């Protein structure tokens, strides 16, 4: 089940809200969320719900044992065992096929292997259990006695499938005690609707055109077609993933939870480092706090630490060489920026820095999109005029004309332009526009819901790109 589905919007969520709010006890409300989260996860793949529960309960038991034997020699082996077990579970389901294929290819062997499938959200919930275990071991948090808290932390459906990655310390107090607020509930609805609009109206619509261009069409026969196709994909993946994060945060607010932000207008960045401080911030925070700093950070073996983190960042996104190259590519950019590029760019007009980031980012999205390295190289050859290609085709002109308005809307919506204008009007004319928003925002929410419903009814194209990770 996905947030942008008619079943979720008109059946699952309304029933959950009714059941949740007629339940008065916080303890039973938590169990309501757990049961509905299990149902949400099991909707498409019911068998994997047992893996989710097992991982959560094993993590819970290990944390209790670590706490019990904190000041003994057993604590560290228990900690290492717990982290290793989660990495092993993730590796088995996500990377076994990749490793077997490469061993067979490199060593000319024929190890048999059948695809075991990838449990949805496994990259997210295993990382959250690792966060939990590390924080218990370090003494940052105490392992709760009730397994209910662990089950809710891991299974809470708004962040279960595609993040953001949250830490137990972020919601520990909220699990035990949270207060219903009409303002918070309304804010949650508003945030959810923004995400729904991003996902269904912008990402899905742009995504269909991007797929047509990138999967062998006009993009392969014209330079501008290649650039236009990868620009469309850049907008698609941003509005797809940030839209999901908005919906997750909004849903959390509806139930009294405050989840951490995951995006901060990454496309206004002027360096790769700044881009990654704004894109999927919960994942970046995980690798910074649980990998980069423990390895030594900037103080010891800086270069090794940097490339370990970016290798893992790429590999986390997918069991394919293109994702590894994509991660190492950004690691190299960040290294070069720290070494000398930042100093050079700081002396140039700001638009140069922004242009550099946009071009570098689009090249990165090529490696992200094409799982075939040959296709990626060929596509880059078209983009930069290395292969024989025309500049533009008649088909591309028609496609660009048909999508121009939507692309302009996406370009503006990927920046804080609306907030700037809103604030500028209030300051210049000394007026408070907040009271007008009490009428405008509900009308906009209804318009978004109506438009999204119409698009969902009329289309079967509704992927969430980060579900596969």
Q: What angle do CA 221, 223, 226 make, to 5 degrees?
A: 80
Place of tokens 């980069």: 292
Rounded Cα gap, residues 107 and 426, in angstroms: 67
Residue 309 CA neighbour count, 13 Å, CB half = 28
Angle between helices 49-68 and 75-107 in degrees, nearest 10: 140
Rounded Cα gap, residues 417 and 420, in angstroms: 5
* Residue 159 annotated as catalytic: no
Select from 158, 113, 333 the least CA-distant residue to 262. 158
User: Which residues are the active-site residues?
Assistant: 317
């Amino acid at each position: 089940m996905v947030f942008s589905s008619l079943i979720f919007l008109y059946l699952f969520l309304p029933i959950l809200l009714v059941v949740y709010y007629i339940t008065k006890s916080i303890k039973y409300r938590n169990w309501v969320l757990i049961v509905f989260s299990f149902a949400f996860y099991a909707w498409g793949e019911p068998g994997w719900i047992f893996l989710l529960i097992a991982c959560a309960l094993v993590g819970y038991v290990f944390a209790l044992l670590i706490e019990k034997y904190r000041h003994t020699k057993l604590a560290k082996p228990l900690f290492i065992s717990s982290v290793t077990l989660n990495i092993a579970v993730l590796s088995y389901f996500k990377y076994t096929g990749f490793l077997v294929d490469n061993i067979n290819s490199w060593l000319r062997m024929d190890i048999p292997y059948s695809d075991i499938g990838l449990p949805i959200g496994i990259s997210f919930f295993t990382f959250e259990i690792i966060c939990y275990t590390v924080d218990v071991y370090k003494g940052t948090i105490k392992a709760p006695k009730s397994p209910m808290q662990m089950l809710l932390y891991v299974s809470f459906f708004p962040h279960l499938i595609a993040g953001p990655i949250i830490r137990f310390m972020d919601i520990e107090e909220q699990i035990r005690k949270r207060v219903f607020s009409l303002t918070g509930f309304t804010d949650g609805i508003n945030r959810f609707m923004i995400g729904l609009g991003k996902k269904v109206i912008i990402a899905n619509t742009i995504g269909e055109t991007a797929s047509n261009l990138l999967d062998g069409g006009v993009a392969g026969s014209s330079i501008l077609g290649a650039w236009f196709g990868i620009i469309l994909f850049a907008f698609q993946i941003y509005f797809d993933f940030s839209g999901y994060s908005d919906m997750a945060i909004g849903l959390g607010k509806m139930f009294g939870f405050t989840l951490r932000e995951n995006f901060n207008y990454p496309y206004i960045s002027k360096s790769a480092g700044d881009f990654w401080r704004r894109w999927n911030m919960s994942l970046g925070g995980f690798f910074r706090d649980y990998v980069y700093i423990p390895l030594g950070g900037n103080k010891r073996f800086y270069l090794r630490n940097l490339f370990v983190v970016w290798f893992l960042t790429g590999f986390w996104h997918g069991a394919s060489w293109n994702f590894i190259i994509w991660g190492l590519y950004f690691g190299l950019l960040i290294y070069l920026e720290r070494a000398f590029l930042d100093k050079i760019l700081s002396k140039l007009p700001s638009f140069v820095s922004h242009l550099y980031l946009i071009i570098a980012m689009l090249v990165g999205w090529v490696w992200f999109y094409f799982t075939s390295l040959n296709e990626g190289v060929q596509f880059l050859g078209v983009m930069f005029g290395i292969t024989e290609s025309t500049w533009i085709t008649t088909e591309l002109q028609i496609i660009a004309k048909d999508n121009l308005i939507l692309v302009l809307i996406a370009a503006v919506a990927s920046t804080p332009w609306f907030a700037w204008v809103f604030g500028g009007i209030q300051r210049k004319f000394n007026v408070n526009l907040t009271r007008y928003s009490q009428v405008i925002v509900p009308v906009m929410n209804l318009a978004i819901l109506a438009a999204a419903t119409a698009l969902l009814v009329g289309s079967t194209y509704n992927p969430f790109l980060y579900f596969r990770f």
